[in-house]
């Protein structure tokens, strides 16, 4: 299914006009930015404060930095956000194909760092 979906999405990328490519890159940039931001600031925010009572490595659901949302609600929020980010990421990389090699490689490296930061957040 992934290969079929990939071929449907990426087969006509080379046939996109320069103006349409620019518009798509702007839209994808907005999707990347928005999905990254909502991951850093989930609905309800994150717990604040300091927690010195727990030892390292133990799990504390009420530890600072954890989402205020319950686990199920957080997953309902995070999974679609992750799908949007990754789809926008790969579409952006695909749209960079006609750019000069040096510029394209630089942008791909920067996007890879963004994806790593997104995953870590």
pLDDT at 28: 92
In a domain, 9, yes or no: yes
Instruction: Say whether pLDDT at 103 is over 80.
Output: yes
pLDDT at 34: 92
How many whole angstroms separate alpha carbon 116 and alpha carbon 8?
26
Nearest Cα residue to 96 out of 8, 42, 16, 9:
16
Q: What is the pLDDT of residues 25-74, one digit of tens each?
A: 899 999 999 998 888 888 887 777 765 555 555 556 667 767 777 788 88
In a domain, 103, yes or no: yes
In a domain, 50, yes or no: no
The mean of the pLDDT values for the chain is 79
Contacts for 111-118 with beta carbons within 8 Å, 24 or more apart? 114/32, 114/36, 114/89, 115/85, 115/86, 115/89, 117/36, 118/35, 118/36, 118/39, 118/85
pLDDT band at 89 (very low <50, low <70, confident <90, very high): confident
In a domain, 4, yes or no: yes
Indicate the number of domains in the chain. Answer: 1
How many whole angstroms separate alpha carbon 33 and alpha carbon 27?
10
In a domain, 55, yes or no: no
In a domain, 46, yes or no: no
| Domain range for 109 | 1-41+68-120
**More confident of the two residues 83 and 119:** 83
In a domain, 63, yes or no: no
How many Cβ atoms from other residues are within 10 Å of residue 32's Cβ? 22
Which of 92-106 are b and which e, b meaning 16 or more Cβ less than 10 Å from the residue's Cβ? bbbbbeeeeeeeeee
In a domain, 76, yes or no: yes
pTM: 0.69
């Amino acid at each position: 299914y992934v290969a079929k979906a990939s071929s449907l999405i990426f087969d006509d990328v080379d046939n996109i006009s320069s103006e349409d490519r620019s518009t798509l890159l702007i839209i994808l940039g907005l999707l990347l930015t928005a999905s990254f931001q909502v991951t850093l600031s989930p609905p309800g925010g994150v717990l604040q404060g300091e927690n010195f009572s727990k030892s390292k490595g133990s799990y504390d659901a009420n530890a600072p930095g954890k989402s205020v949302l319950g686990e199920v609600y957080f997953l309902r929020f995070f999974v679609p956000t992750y799908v949007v980010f990754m789809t926008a990421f790969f579409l952006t990389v695909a749209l960079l194909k006609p750019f000069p090699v040096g510029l394209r490689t630089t942008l791909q490296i920067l996007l890879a760092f963004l994806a790593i930061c997104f995953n870590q957040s």
